[in-house]
Amino acid sequence: MILTTSTLNVLTSRRNQITKTYDVLDLNIVKDINESIQGDQTVYKGGIVSLGQFDEGMCFKLNLKNGNAFIICNPKEKTINSLMSYI
C-alpha cells in the first residue's frame, strides 16, 4: 500500500518491477473516525476499528461510507498503529 494525503493506493506487489495499482481508495469515503485514549492506547471507532492480533499480524477494519469494508493487516504492530493514525 501507499498512503498519500488523500488516497490509499492498494498495490499488487511490493516489488517495483511488477507493481500495479489494484485499487485506489479516496480517504473522503472513509466513515467518520472517532478516536479516544484508553490508558496508553488510542482506540478508534467508526471508519477504523482495530481487530487485534492474528496469525497475519495486527489487523484493523477500514469502513467506507458506501458500506464496503477492507481488512488491513501487517506483522508489525507499529506499522498498523501508524497507518491508523495517519488515516
* Cα distance between residue 14 and residue 74, in whole Å: 13
Task: Report if pTM > 0.85.
Answer: no
Domain region containing 37? 2-86
pLDDT at 63 over 90: yes
User: So what's the pLDDT on residue 59?
Assistant: 94
Is residue 60 within 8 A of residue 53, CB to CB? The reply is no
User: So what's the pLDDT on residue 13?
Assistant: 78
Is residue 32 within 8 A of residue 47, CB to CB? The reply is yes
Number of domains in the chain: 1
Is residue 85 within 8 A of residue 43, CB to CB? The reply is no
User: 24-56: per-residue pLDDT in tens?
Assistant: 889 999 998 888 887 777 778 889 998 989 988
